[in-house]
Amino acid sequence: MAAADSPSTALRRRDLCSRGIRLAGKMRADVVDLLDAYVEQQGLDASASVAAVEGVPLAAVERWDEQTGTQRLLENLAAYRAFRALLAQMLEEQREQLGEADAGLGRALAAVLLQVSAFAYHLEELLRLESRGIPGEEEDDGPPPPPRLSLFEQKLRGLGVLRELAQWAVRSVRDLRQLTKPSPATAAAPGLAESP
Amino acid sequence: FLASGELVQSCGHIIPESPVLALGSNFTALCILNESCLDFGNIYANQIIWKIKNRLVPKEQYREINRTVSSVTFNDTSSLATPLTCNILADGQIEQNIYGITVTVGLPPEKPKNLSCIVHQMAKYTYVMTCTWNPGRHTFLDTQFRLRYSWPEEIFPDCIPKDVNNSCTISDIQFFVNTEIWVEAANALGKAESDPLVIDPIDIVKPLSPQNVSVSSGILPTVLKLSWVNWISDAVMTLKFNIRYRIVGDTNWMEIPSEDTASPRTSFSVQGLRPYTEYVFAIRCMKEDGVGYWSDWSEEKTGITTEDQPSKGPPIWRIIDASHSPDSWTVHLIWKAPKPFEANGKILQYEVTIRDKSSLSSPLKKYNVTSTNHTLHLPKGTYEVTLIARNSIGASPPSVLLIPASNSKAPVQNLRTLPKHDKLWVGWTAPNSYVLKYVIEWCVMSSSSDCIIDWQIAPGDVQGIDLKGIKPFKCYLITVYPLYADGQGSGQSVKAYLKQDRPSKGPTVQTKKVGKAEAVLTWNHLTVEEQNGFIRNYTILYKTIDGNETVVTVDPSKTEYTLSSLTSDTLYTVRMMASTDNGSRTGPDFTFTTQKFGKGEIEAIVVPVCLAFLLIVLLGVLFCFNKRDLIKKHIWPIVPDPSKSNIAQWSPQVPAKHNFNSKDQMYPEGSFTDVSVVEIEADDKKSFSEQDLKPFDLLKKEKSTSEGHSSGIGGSSCMSSPRQSVSDSDEGETTQNTSSTVQYSTVVLNGYRDQTPVQVFSRSESTQPLLDSEERSEDHAGGADSTAQRQQYFRQNGGQDETNADRPWFERTKQITHANEGDLVGFVQLQISGQSSQPLGLGMEKNTQEAALSNFLQTCTEGQTVRPETVEENPLPVDEMPKSYLPQTVRQGGYMPQ
């Protein structure tokens, strides 16, 4: 956080946060729209319950308000890297299943994928500003590649990914807003952040 | 020997092969001959010549590097063209082509500049980004442009422009990530990149304008509510708005303050509007933070505010007609309908209230009117008129007009006008007293119709207003009345034009009077429609046919002018010109001729001449009067008494004649009824004298006894005209004495029967006794012409006349003798017989007389009056006829020469 003292760094962080908040907001809106299209396209029930997607940190977390900024960033980064991989896999499966028949859904998926990538880039930049090393993607790719799933399972997993992404988009907005606040928690954060 | 083609193909080549060269750079090419050709054809590098498109390159640019290589150098590639060939002069003269290359000259691409991008929202979720740049100079080469963009860890596909080289559109746009955008340009001579543009596409969005705009009126008459739908989600961007509006028919837009619409919303209530007014609205949006572009304006929507009660009373004025009765007025109340922003609704009616201020007890009179005028017949006095306009919501404040008995207050002063573009400014100096307001009346003056008054009210604190709707070239009569709290000032008027022009026609001039050296010209004033401006003067231009034109300027109030110093008896052309401040117009030409004589000149000549003539005549008369005896002596010479002459004694017929012609015997009353004319032929003088007169036949009977025919003695009697003779009974006595025809003959100097003529008077006029004797011998009188002539004798039978059968008859004889040189006239003798006192000729038909006379004149060349009984030959030839003098009775009105 030493670099946070620099005015340019503060400006840069504020800009990244602001842009990240808006990106997360748009991402949520797009994911919600995409969910509707996906459910309809895949012939799923919108109310169907889906088990937690493997490899994706849950957006819901206890004692969220006690997290440090770096923790938030790291959790976000891990989640969005996971989403990036899952969405890329979904896009691939989508193309395999439908070919170019439903280019709209594919474009929407690609757009969300781009937004996820962009948001991950925002998080990495913020972490750099925090003077924290960016964890390697290989590290985070801890979970082994998912086993080969049936088509229906793929659809359900896709539904779960999008739902979780929508949740994360909401949480990311809150996280980034929290980062922009000069709250006392931030001052205490290093202790907490460094404790793990 | 080898074929030439094979020789060329194999004898050398040029390096570089088909180069692409930068324009303006230097360039060196080498032509390398094959070794085989050196030996075989004796071809060496010093024989090489270079050509550009068949144009020889100067040898100064050649360089022989060795025996097989020749180079050519160009300092500026702009002088190059295709192809560049290497040739050789075989056998010293024959030019053979060795090799040729194509040279392409161009420029490397410039760095693209001014890269800018904009993101257009195409649909709710569709955005495209279009970037444009300046490609730089023309390179003359095929140059590729590509738009590139990337995220820090993501590179996107390039955008290749189609058909253009300065713009490209990207359809896959992601917001909220800084994107680096740049342009690459590349051709055979190089590659260039623009400066990168790093931007978040969300900051360059031009959103779609708000959709489904609607306008609804609220409860308040000054508010309209605007609603719309935004086509961009809040997740992408939040918006701010611009709202503009205008009154329908107006062109000026008003705008809602931007701070009122700077937050995201989908509706807005516009306040401060006019009641009952239709407004047009439009709205646009952009990103809330103001970074980006405004959308286009939305489609226009209209809405009408609700009604409100009229905010202002109608302006009211009056026109008073006092001509019908001395004690009463016809008051035309006129008012203007409130302007829409004052009416605040549809005016349903006007309420007019009249209060007689001179009589407090008189009741108020109220009228409800739907038109904008009302006519009242009121006794002269002071009235207060109150006017209220009413719509469905309520009534306006009252407008009050005081109509005083007389406009006795102070008027405005120094009333003046000034044209200002399309308006006419009217200014005045206020009176000293406090003025409530002013009324300005104006109307177009016309010669054919009444002045239709328009009017306007101005506040009391102004001293000038602009009149609108004023037409150019029209004469306006403008009147200003000051209105006081207790009365009204008299009106002051001024005439004015918004714009003047030259008159539409010139005056028609004509002469009122033309003299010898002056002419009075008159003309009519031009009508006010023809003037087109204030007539500043009239100009009279006049000239003779070949003379210079003279110009006279005349005051415009005049309609008459006298041209002086004109030349007499000369044709003048005059025309007239009317002039305004903006030009002149000439009327038609008018020509007139001055008189030859001036006024009184003719009189000055004629009168003296006449006077002189009269004087001469008078002197002549006086002279004659004084010399009358002498004249008489000359005119009527004393004739010796024939009875005492030897000739009388000599003539054998005379005594018988005398006896026969005794008056009593000759004309016994009632017995002499017939007059016969006997024609006697005279062969010649001699025979005439010798033969006897034969009895004559009656040739003609005269119906009218009052007509006489000339006869008598002498050669000229027949040439006289018949005249009517009237006798009067009053002169009966005299007539009695002279009733007989008395003829006197002059014996012409002629020989008788070969005798030597002796100039003697055979007969003459003498005194009355002489006449008696002469009458008796007159039958002998007569003569013959020197040539053979017929002699007529006539006889009148008065008894045959029905009218005068019983009346005294008369006989007239006329004898005209040609006088000698001293004699002037012949005289006519009238004989009236008996006691006849009646104007015998009254019953005579003149035509008959003239016919008879005509006949007589035709047949008679020399008459001879004879009695029926005395048909005797006149022994004297005509030539010998002496002059005869006939005494006569001259009666006023009755004496007629015959």
pLDDT digits (tens, 9 = 90+) for B213-226: 999 987 889 999 99
* Peptide bond before residue B16 is cis, with ω within 30 degrees of 0: yes
Domain ranges of chain A: 13-133+151-181
Look up residue B416 and give its two tokens: 């003046």
* Residues whose CB is less than 8 angstroms from the CB of residue B391 and which lie 6 or more positions away in sequence, other chains included: B307, B309, B310, B343, B344, B345, B346, B347, B348
Confirm if B438 and B462 have CB atoms less than 8 A apart.
yes
- The answer to whether the CB atoms of A121 and B175 lie below 8 A apart is no
Chain A nearest-CA distance from B149, in A, is: 14
What pLDDT is stored for residue B797 in this prediction? Answer: 41
The residue among B747, B735, B589 whose CA lies nearest residue B654 is B747
What pLDDT is stored for residue B302 in this prediction? Answer: 95
Which pLDDT band holds residue B68 (cuts at 50, 70, 90)?
confident
- A155 vs B: CB within 8 A: no
What pLDDT is stored for residue B798 in this prediction? Answer: 38
Of these ranges, B109-113, B651-655, B760-764, the one predicted with the greatest mean pLDDT is B109-113
Identity of the residue numbered B534: F
- B177 vs A: CB within 8 A: yes
Phi-psi region of B533 (alpha: psi -120 to 50; beta: other; left: phi over 0): left
* CA separation for the pair B885, A36 (Å, rounded): 166
- Residue-wise pLDDT for B379-414, tens only, equals 888 899 999 999 999 999 999 998 888 877 889 999
- A115 vs B: CB within 8 A: yes
Residue B419 has pLDDT above 60, yes or no: yes
3 state DSSP class of B714: coil
- A172 vs B: CB within 8 A: no
Taking contacts as CB-CB distances below 8 angstroms, the residues of chain A near B202 are 22
- B236 vs A: CB within 8 A: yes
Closest residue of chain B to A113, computed from CA coordinates: B174
Residue B817 has pLDDT above 80, yes or no: no
Residue B452 has pLDDT above 80, yes or no: yes
Residue A193 parent element (H or E) = helix A184-194
* Cα torsion B433, B435, B436, B439: sign: positive
What pLDDT is stored for residue A30 in this prediction? Answer: 87
In this predicted structure, which of B197-201, B406-410, B512-516, B784-788 has the lowest mean pLDDT? Answer: B784-788
Q: Which of B152, B153, B236 sits opposite A26 (nearest CB)?
A: B236
> Which position has the higher pLDDT, B425 or A157?
B425
CA angle B187, B191, B194 (to 5 degrees): 125
- A114 vs B: CB within 8 A: yes
* CA separation for the pair B102, B866 (Å, rounded): 159
Q: Which residues pair with B830 in a beta bridge?
A: B812
Find out if CATH 1.10.1060.10 is the number for domain A13-133+151-181. Answer: no
Closest residue of chain A to B235, computed from CA coordinates: A26
> Which position has the higher pLDDT, B68 or B727?
B68
The helix/strand count (H/E) of chain B reads as 13, 57
CA angle B361, B363, B367 (to 5 degrees): 160
Confirm if B831 and B727 have CB atoms less than 8 A apart.
no
User: Looking at chain A from residue 22 to 61, which residues have their Cβ under 8 Å from any Cβ of chain B?
Assistant: 22-23, 25-26, 28-30, 33
Residue B838 has pLDDT above 50, yes or no: no
What pLDDT is stored for residue B863 in this prediction? Answer: 38
Domains of chain B and any CATH numbers: 12-106 (2.60.40.10), 113-199 (2.60.40.10), 207-305 (2.60.40.10), 316-497 (2.60.40.10), 509-594 (2.60.40.10)
- The answer to whether the CB atoms of A118 and B174 lie below 8 A apart is yes
| CA distance to A118, B121, B173, B648, B677, per residue, from B150 (Å) | 11, 21, 11, 180, 163
* CA separation for the pair A41, A88 (Å, rounded): 18
* Residues whose CB is less than 8 angstroms from the CB of residue B749 and which lie 6 or more positions away in sequence, other chains included: B757, B758, B759, B880
Q: Which residues pair with B269 in a beta bridge?
A: B225
Q: Which of A20, A29, A114 sits opposite B174 (nearest CB)?
A: A114
> Which position has the higher pLDDT, B658 or B328?
B328
- Residue-wise pLDDT for B262-289, tens only, equals 989 999 999 999 999 999 999 999 999 8
Taking contacts as CB-CB distances below 8 angstroms, the residues of chain A near B151 are 117-118, 121
DSSP string, B582-630: TEEEE---EEEE--SS-TTHHHHHHHHHHHHHHHHHHHHHHHHHHTHHH
ipTM over 0.90: no
Chains A, B: CB contacts within 8 A come to 46
- Residue-wise pLDDT for B574-632, tens only, equals 999 999 998 999 999 999 998 888 778 888 888 999 999 999 999 988 888 888 888 88
User: Looking at chain A from residue 93 to 112, which residues have their Cβ under 8 Å from any Cβ of chain B?
Assistant: 107, 111
3 state DSSP class of B400: strand
* CA separation for the pair A178, A116 (Å, rounded): 20
Which pLDDT band holds residue B235 (cuts at 50, 70, 90)?
confident
- Residue-wise pLDDT for A80-118, tens only, equals 999 999 898 888 888 877 666 667 788 888 889 988 988
Length of chain B measured in residues: 898
